[in-house]
A and B are shown apart, each in its own frame.
Chain A
Amino acid sequence: MKRGLSRILLITLSLSFILPMMMVLIWSATVSWPFPEIFPRGFGLRGFQEIFRPGSPALYSLLTSIRISIIATLLTLGITLPGGKALGIYEFPGKSFIKIFVLAPLIISPVAIGMGVHGTFIRMGLTNTELGVVLIHIVPGIPYGIRIFTNIFELVGEDLEEQGKVLGAGSVQTFMHITLPTVIPGIISAGSMIFIISFSQYFLTFLIGGGSVQTFPLLMVPYIQSGDRLMAASYSVVFIIVALMVLLAIEKTLRLYYRKQSGIAGVFYSRKKVRS
């Protein structure tokens, strides 16, 4: 294939996925755009004013969403980091089975999972509570956390930790100064992915939260259903910008920490890079 042709094909294909996003951006900033006009009648920020007006349910639900997703992300990281370490470093009976089992939430329908645990959650008093929503949000993030940490620990191994222990570091010291700094890149990518999954969640939130836990996606759906494109578009834009901002904040804070701690880990990574 000629270079020019392949370039045109690449750009056309990519644009057909990138341009649709412009539609949402344009809709969010219109005043009115009746059919069959091809251009909006005017531009304004009514949708955003409605979302950010003081005391608006949207603003409140945005805070609820961020809170739930950050707690769910921290909990998921907390359980998948040691799990990934076990799968990445050690050999033990049952390993291959567990490796498949932890992928199950990626494959089995959240509808089946949600309705399955719904009864148990009711009996435990977890439905209609934020705690219940946080707990159910952990499930879909597990496969991503496990996969990323398994890969990282397969690469890093246990040598550095052993050396630290030989030199007299305790478990807490080893974890804080060796394990954590070496897996920071994994925490950033797994954390971002898990946050996005939880932040986007709709079905599990409304099933377990029962309408009492109003997250941002829950408020957005009625606008999409009723065809209120201006509001639906404004919600979408706010959603994407907030998600990007949180992801950026996660990355920046952790990178800062990483640089401070990177004495040993930095050396390790640069060495790996040179070798490969």
Chain B
Amino acid sequence: MFKVNKRRLKPYIYLFPVISILLFVFTLGLGNSIMQSLGYRPGIGLYEVTLDYYREVFRSGGFLSGLLFSFRVSLISSLLAAVIGVGIAYLLVMQKKEWPVLQALLKLPIIVPHLVAAFLIFTIFSQSGFLARLSVLLGFIETSREFPPMIFDTRGIGVILAYLWKGTPFIFLIVYQLLRTIETEMVEAASNLGAGGKELFFRIFLPLSLPGVFSAFIILFAFSFGSYEIPFLLGPTVPRALPVLAYVEYINPDWTNRPYAMAINMVLAGVSVLLVWMYHWAFSRYQQFRKGH
């Protein structure tokens, strides 16, 4: 009797440490943020719950343009990373040799921190960067000012490039591992039946790797949507990416500004929860898909 109970409890005991840390972070952390964003701050004698802060945040131009900026930059960089990552993985699988050196070099950006990625993009694309120097050499421009601004620019080109540089190898790694497990017999059978490169790609490789690509895309999107470093170093001041905007509001010496920061954080988290849901949906589809094979 006791043994049965112990056995049942076992997984919960194993999960206890990790779940309690996550619960601590998410209930206390996000709970606090929700209360503060609603203006409930017993610490400084504010007990009234109100949606005014959200209303004001949504009304302010800085927030909306920041939301749009973050969304656009994340979407474009993750989509491009997915397309290029899949492309490189497919091209590599189609080679006769495995190209281990190339593979190892392609994995290197994964261990390079985002700060360095930002710096790297800066050295190449800034108005005094390598491309600008090359343009001078080739006679396209004469001064650095004539080089189109791609860093700190309102379109966020530098931010997109930095995320793209970090994200593509991540997608490549996931897709390449997936593609390699596809039985060569399947590919050979298809080519014996007369399938060309195009058919192989669209009928075999793409459907088999799509679920993996999708969950990797969600991870990349969520990461670039919510992280601070790259837009802080390469992004414009107007519009500010949401995470940067939230931090600026947070460190504002005026304490009454705190609820705005928290309201922005709740939007950041809200979009992310939507993503978790999509991720779960993609993952369960992926499992069904694998079972079907």
Residue numbers of A with Cβ under 8 A of B are 1, 6-7, 9-11, 13-14, 17-18, 20-21, 23-24, 27, 35-38, 78-80, 82-83, 85-87, 89-90, 92, 95, 98, 100-113, 115-117, 119-120, 138-139, 142, 146, 196, 199-200, 202-203, 217, 220-221, 224-225, 227, 229, 232-233, 236, 239-240, 243-244, 247
- The 7 closest A-B CB pairs, nearest first, are A109-B226, A116-B29, A200-B113, A86-B11, A86-B14, A82-B14, A36-B136
| Cβ–Cβ contact A111 & B268, under 8 A | yes
The answer to whether B18 touches A79, judged by C-beta atoms less than 8 angstroms apart, is: yes
**Complex formed: what's the CA distance from A229 to B126 in Å?**
12
Which of A6, A17, A217, A227 interacts with B165 by CB under 8 Å?
Answer: A17
Q: Does the CB pair B14–A202 fall under 8 Å?
A: no
- In whole angstroms, how far apart are the Cα atoms of A247 and B110 in the complex? 13
CB-CB under 8 A from A14, the residues of chain B are 88, 102, 105-106
- C-beta contact mask, B267-293 vs A, less than 8 Å → 1, else 0? 011001101100110000000000000
> Which one, B87, B124, B229, B276, contacts A202 given CB within 8 A?
B229
Cβ contacts A to B, 13 pairs, < 8 Å = A11-B102, A14-B102, A82-B18, A86-B11, A89-B11, A103-B279, A105-B25, A108-B268, A109-B265, A111-B243, A113-B29, A116-B28, A233-B123
Q: B21–A23 contact, CB under 8 A?
A: no
Contact for A35 among B84, B111, B132, B247, CB less than 8 A: B132
A35 touches B144 (CB 8 A): yes
Selected from B18, B168, B226, the residue in CB contact (under 8 A) with A108 is B226
Q: In terms of DSSP, what is the predominant structure of the interface of chain B?
A: helix
Q: Which residues of B contact A23 (CB under 8 A)?
A: 120, 123-124, 130
User: Do A21 and B132 have beta carbons less than 8 Å apart?
Assistant: no
Instruction: State whether B112 touches A21 (Cβ < 8 A).
Output: yes
State in angstroms the CA–CA spacing of A54 and B111 once bound together: 28
| C-alpha spacing A119/B105, complex, angstroms | 42
By the criterion CB–CB under 8 Å, are A103 and B276 in contact? yes
Q: Mark B60-91, 1 if CB is under 8 A from A, else 0.
A: 00000000000000000000000010011001
Cross-chain contact A109 with B123 (CB below 8 angstroms)? no
New contact pairs (10) apart from A36-B136, A103-B279, A113-B30, CB-CB < 8 Å: A21-B112, A36-B128, A87-B15, A92-B11, A100-B276, A109-B243, A111-B227, A115-B246, A227-B122, A236-B116
Interface size on B, residues (CB 8 A): 85
Task: State in angstroms the CA–CA spacing of A109 and B262 once bound together.
Answer: 12
Does the CB pair A224–B115 fall under 8 Å?
Answer: yes
Q: A112-B265, A142-B22, A202-B229 are in contact. Are A36 and B29 (CB under 8 A)?
A: no
Interface flag for B252 (CB, 8 Å): no
A13 touches which one: B91, B111, B223, B276 (CB < 8 A)?
A: B91
Which residues of chain B come closer than 8 Å to A139, judged between CB atoms?
21-22, 25
Which residues on B sit within 8 Å (CB–CB) of A107?
218-219, 222, 272-273, 275-276, 279
CB pair A111–B120 under 8 Å, yes or no, is no
Whole-angstrom CA separation of A120 from B43 in the bound complex: 12
Of residues 205 through 259 on chain B, the ones whose CB sits less than 8 Å from some CB of chain A are: 218-219, 222-223, 225-229, 233, 243, 246-247, 250
Q: Contacts of B30 on A, CB cut-off 8 Å? A: 108, 112-113, 116
Whether A85 and B14, one on each chain, are in contact in the complex, defined by CB atoms closer than 8 angstroms, is: yes
Contact B116 A13 (CB under 8 A): no
Contact of B19 among A7, A98, A224 (CB under 8 A): A98
- CB contacts (< 8 Å) of B134 on chain A: these are 38
When distances are taken between beta carbons in the complex, the residues of chain B under 8 Å from A82 are 13-15, 17-18
Give the CA-CA distance A229 to B121 in the complex, in Å. 12
| Chain B residue nearest to A221 in the complex (CB) | B115
Q: CA separation between A64 and B94, bound complex, in Å? A: 45
Q: Is the CB of B22 within 8 A of A104?
A: yes
Chain B, range 184-198, C-beta contacts under 8 Å to A: 197
* List of A residues within 8 angstroms of B118 by Cβ: 224
List residues of chain A with CB within 8 A of the CB of B266.
112
In the assembly, what is the distance between CA of A205 and CA of B155, in Å? 29
CB pair B12–A92 under 8 Å, yes or no, is yes
Residue numbers in A under 8 Å from B115 (CB-CB)? 200, 202, 217, 220-221, 224, 236
Q: Which of A9, A37, A112, A120 contacts B269 (CB 8 A)?
A: A112
Across the interface, name the chain B residue whose C-beta is closest to A218. B115
Tell which of B132, B246, B269 has the most Cβ of chain A within 10 Å: B269
* Whole-angstrom distance between the Cβ of A269 and the nearest chain B Cβ: 17
Query: For A21, what are the chain B residues with a Cβ–Cβ distance below 8 Å?
Result: 108-109, 112, 120
Please, which residue of chain B has its CB at the minimum distance from the CB of A244?
B111
- List, in ascending order, chain B residues with CB within 8 A of A1's CB: 94, 197
Whether A236 contacts B119 by the Cβ 8 Å rule is: yes
Decide if A225 touches B116 in the complex (CB within 8 Å): no
Asked if B92 is at the interface (CB within 8 A of a chain A CB), the reply is: yes
